[in-house]
Chains A and B, each alone.
Chain A
Amino acid sequence: MNSIGFYIHIPYCVQKCAYCDFYSLAGRDPAGYSAALIKQIKSCKKYYNGKFVDSIYIGGGTPSILPPENIKTILEAVRAYADVTPNAEITIEANPGTLDSRKLSSYRAAGINRLSIGLQSADNEELFMLSRIHTLEEFENSFLLARMEGFENINVDIMYALPFQTFAKLSNTLAYVADMKPEHVSFYGLKIEDDTPFGRHPNIKNTLPDEDTQVRMYMNACKVFDACGLDQYEISNFAKKGFECKHNLKYWHNLDYIGFGPGAHSMVGKQMFSYKKDIDLFMQDPTDADALLDENYKMSIAEASTQYVMLAFRLSEGVSVGDYNSRYGLDFEEKYLEKMQPFIERKLIVKTNKGYALTRRGMLVSNMVLATILDFDEI
């Protein structure tokens, strides 16, 4: 029997961060949202009926802004409608400024077994510049509280290539995080998105570390994580053995996931669909798929298999030739080997025992590599 991952979007936060382009609204009352979500989950049963749900990811926005009882009801509903496996990975994203021990123990009681905390930087000046609502001290309290409440699988988000960031400043953040010993780290390069305060700032690009520094930052971080047992398993993700995020791996393995809430995306089989980023429309009738759908298309085999390659190359394990060939009835090497050759020669792609993977240097230029080898014409 097939499995499917659930993504539950909570589009609320205390205030928008200067870099963030996710769909989320600051300062709005989330009353009634969880009930609406539950209605939508129920109405989408045809997508997950007969499948195991082995991962649930509550993301945002800032999910920890909701009253913990709401989270509990949502998860109860999911369990009532869907076949959630006993050892399913259930993650909630949390913002240090919004956590306390009551919330954390309530999450545990609701069955949440993984916590993802957005730290971003261990430098209070940088946190202020990013317009985060918390300080380093608040993060540390939240993290330690979570440990006390029994969370044994915690992810910490870090960002690099920030405005005015130096190599030394980032090193401090890395050393601090290593010291906290999380099971998982997501390490993202800041991307300046157009419709954000950062994107609108005319000179922001001049304040960013230069490319060589960014490359050194990335390589150095990989080394630091390596040294404390956090193995790289994706371009931006590092984990202790066995703590890789099951839910996110579904994306990179091109496996089924279904999203709920405005702006959420889904892939069920070859059907890709997403909902409009419109909370009011959603609240009006969360079950009216016709009104809510934004994109909705079925992929051809060509597109699905190309997407598979695009995503698999994000992983350290890379593309599994056997898996690709059996899933799509195609021959990976026939289609890609010649195009990969120049990159293999430059050691940007290596052969693994299951297939092919990008090296770290290859990951850093993965857009260029993928734009060369992938074929969008037949899509």
Chain B
Amino acid sequence: MQRQDKIRNFSIIAHIDHGKSTLADRLLEATKSVSKREMEDQLLDNMDIERERGITIKARAVTLNYEAKDGETYEFNLIDTPGHVDFNYEVSRSLGACEGALLVVDATQGIEAQTLANTYLALENDLEIIPVINKIDLPSADIEGVRNEIEDVIGIDAEGCPAVSAKTGLNIEDVLEKIVTSIPAPSGDENAPLKCLIFDSYYDSYRGVVVYIRVADGKVKSGMKVKMMNTEAEFDVVEVGRMSPFGLVPTDELSAGDVGYLTASIKNVADTRVGDTVTDAQNPTSAAFPGFKQAQPMVFAGIYPSDGAKYPDLRDALEKLRLNDAALTFEPETSIALGFGFRCGFLGLLHMEIIAERLEREFMLDLITTAPSVIYKITYKDGTVKFIDNPSAFPSPDEISEAAEPIVKASIISPSDYVGGIMELCKERRGVFVDMKYLDKTRMELHYKLPLNEIIYDFFDALKSRSKGYASLDYELAGYEPSKLVKLDILLNLEPVDALSFIVHADSAYTRGRKIAEALKENIPRQLFEVPIQAAIGGRVIARETVKAMRKDVLAKCYGGDITRKKKLLEKQKEGKKRMRKLGSIEVPPETFMAVLKLDNEN
């Protein structure tokens, strides 16, 4: 047998909670790569946030050795993929490094939108797909139903596909054997010029950037000069090796068909973009892998330190995160309301939440995040075109010849019972119905064109609440369309607050403005005077609420026994005030700036 014949490179595709991480753990266990005792729960997801949210943010890979029933020992390279729509591109690159994929479907839930989208990506990459029906230990498992669904919806043969319980370990052997028999071995040319696909990278303070690669052709070893074909950066390879469940294990070389890593004293992950091709600088391959894209932020928000003095700390923290996250962009921004901060660009809302959470947790920063915005395309009356990602830069209506906003193609899968509510939601969010079809007797797939602007607020939450958590969503960008956009300003105590402005479609401006005014009223504590809250478009007030003045806040009794207590009480009240942001003469808590995000009444 040839060396490559004993290699199997594959990914696992699954919806959140369908058991991807658990299955990966069982595979590690079954291949004796890790003993149960050694295994921290769900080894592959090793960031805290990942473990808590049950999702994988960055791709991971691991090499396992499996002794198959044919007596041969196979090398499995399991490449884990992120499972969220924000990271679609990363998924497609991870899949590009494989010959096959396990499609994990929950026997009690069936196929979800995200799974479907990733399966199509896998099919586009010509991957061999092995359906794995999971959670068969649950009483409500419907193995045959799910098998039929896989055949009907995806159109792949599910006869004889493994039905397992990753939780109990039942039938895991079937999966391992299926990987050996069904997934094709790699077939690269070891003697051709070097050609590797980068499917992930991360910054390590000792080695510099560690680049995860799949070698398609040729060989790579330390000392070799390599070139990134898209960024054109060149580096001398310091080390190559493989990913064991316990960390990196250096080897002499990696050859065609292998999955592994290389280090080359690279200082910035921006030089090692996912999807780029690594080749021999002296003897380059003729063509790079197709489909390389620069990570494009789609959602923008201002991030400010609660304590203005922490601005340099925030900058350092963002720079550290960017070492590992080429998709994160940021540039300094100043707000009258919030002081010095950064305008940050993200792949999507989840990416934004993850970054904000990491900044707060790992760097101990207290942050104020403004409402996210998308990039608008403005054609001015004089014909110039500008892309605007910050509402405060949005021109006044008389300067605009045409305003356009990004549109996405959205696919929603839901039990048919909730379709009515979902269609209503999509209509409220200015969705244009494309088509819908039954996936099986009870579940439907809907296609809509929706403005991205409407999705980045609370669409996902609203979708979940209107479908009792069953509906799933996937979307991809589908260009710009002209739209009646206006800038909605929020005035507190008659002063406009720049950090609260946002862009909205003219038709929903009134409803939005009213809801925001109401939400702000709930969020702003009473002051010593009445505070009017107004929503306005170009100087015209369209909604008003009032925070009534605080008239009574007094401790009736203060004798000997009350003095220490009273001091503590006032100190606490003072601490509360310190968190507040001063906007002119009024004080508001930092959450105020996010209040405009949670507006769906159905919640």
Contacts and interface: CB of A to CB of B under 8 A. Distances in A.
Q: Do A and B come from one complex?
A: yes
Interface of A: 7, 22, 188-191, 211-212, 214-215, 218, 235-236, 248, 251-252, 257, 259, 263-267, 272, 274, 295, 303, 306-307, 310-311, 314, 342-343, 346, 348, 363-368, 370-372, 374, 376, 379
Contact of B558 (A211, A264, A303, A311): A311
A94 B557 CA distance: 18
A149 B577 CA distance: 53
Contacts of B560: 7, 251, 257, 259, 264-267
Interface in B569-589: 569-571, 573-574, 576-577, 585
Contact of B529 (A22, A346, A367): A346
A236 B566 CA distance: 15
B383 interface: no
A274 B564 contact: yes
Nearest to B571: A376
Contact of A272 (B528, B564, B569, B573): B564
Contacts of A314: 558
Contact of B574 (A235, A236, A303, A374): A374
B566 A310 contact: yes
A367 B554 contact: yes
B552 A371 contact: no
B290 interface: no
Given A251-B560, A259-B560, A367 B555 contact: yes
B550 interface: yes
Interface string B309-333: 0000000000000000000000000
A368 B576 CA distance: 11
Contacts of B529: 346
Given A367-B569, A372-B577, 15 more contacts: A22-B561, A236-B557, A251-B559, A257-B560, A263-B561, A266-B560, A295-B564, A314-B558, A342-B585, A343-B528, A346-B529, A363-B554, A364-B554, A367-B555, A367-B570
A34 to B, nearest CB: 21
A265 B558 contact: no
B567 interface: yes
Contacts of A248: 559
B287 interface: no
Contacts of B550: 365, 368
Contacts of A365: 528, 550-554
B552 A307 contact: no
Given A189-B556, A311-B558, A363-B554, A265 B564 contact: yes
B563 interface: yes
Given A371-B577, A374-B574, A214 B557 contact: no
7 contacts: A214-B552, A251-B563, A259-B560, A311-B558, A365-B553, A372-B574, A376-B571
A367 B564 contact: no
A274 B561 CA distance: 8
A368 B551 CA distance: 10
Contacts of A307: 563, 567
Contacts of A235: 554, 556, 558
B531 to A, nearest CB: 14
A303 B571 CA distance: 12
Contacts of A272: 563-564
Contacts of A363: 554
B550 to A, nearest CB: 6
Interface of B: 528-529, 550-561, 563-564, 566-567, 569-571, 573-574, 576-577, 585
A100 B441 CA distance: 86
User: Nearest 9 CB-CB pairs, A to B?
Assistant: A371-B573, A188-B556, A376-B571, A265-B560, A189-B556, A367-B553, A265-B561, A371-B574, A215-B551
Contacts, number: 101
B552 A215 contact: yes
A191 B558 contact: no
Nearest to A214: B552
Contacts of A266: 560
B128 to A, nearest CB: 61
Contacts of A274: 561, 564
Given A265-B563, A274-B561, A371-B577, A364 B552 contact: yes
Contacts of A311: 558, 563
Contact of B528 (A236, A259, A348, A379): A348
A211 B557 contact: no
Contacts of A236: 556-557
A205 B378 CA distance: 53
A24 B550 CA distance: 34
Nearest to B578: A377
A376 B558 contact: no
Contact of B554 (A22, A189, A267): A189
A259 B571 CA distance: 25
B569 to A, nearest CB: 7
B584 to A, nearest CB: 12
A218 B551 CA distance: 11
A376 B570 contact: yes
B557 to A, nearest CB: 6
A251 B559 CA distance: 6
Contacts of B564: 265, 272, 274, 295
Nearest to A235: B554
Contacts of B577: 371-372
Nearest to B559: A251
B528 A188 contact: no
A364 to B, nearest CB: 5
A274 B559 CA distance: 13
A364 B555 contact: no
A365 B554 CA distance: 5
A364 B553 CA distance: 6
Nearest to A259: B560
Contacts of A348: 528
Contacts of B570: 310, 367, 370-371, 374, 376
B551 A251 contact: no
Given A236-B556, A376-B574, A264 B551 contact: no
Contacts of A7: 560
Contacts of B559: 248, 251
Given A188-B557, A235-B556, A307-B563, A367 B551 contact: no
A257 B585 CA distance: 41
Contacts of B567: 303, 306-307, 310, 376
Contacts of B557: 188, 191, 236
B347 to A, nearest CB: 42
A7 B528 CA distance: 37
Nearest to A361: B551
Contacts of A211: 551-552
Contacts of A368: 528, 550, 553, 573
Contacts of B585: 342
A348 B554 CA distance: 13
A87 B505 CA distance: 79
A233 to B, nearest CB: 14
Contacts of A257: 560
B573 A366 contact: no
A264 B557 CA distance: 16
Contacts of B569: 367
The winner among A211, A264, A366, A371 for most chain B CB atoms within 10 A is A371
A366 B554 contact: yes
Nearest to A368: B553
Contacts of A265: 560-561, 563-564
A197 B499 CA distance: 46
A341 to B, nearest CB: 12
A348 B557 CA distance: 20
Contacts of A306: 567
Nearest to A376: B571
B551 A212 contact: yes
B184 to A, nearest CB: 66
A361 to B, nearest CB: 8
A74 to B, nearest CB: 18
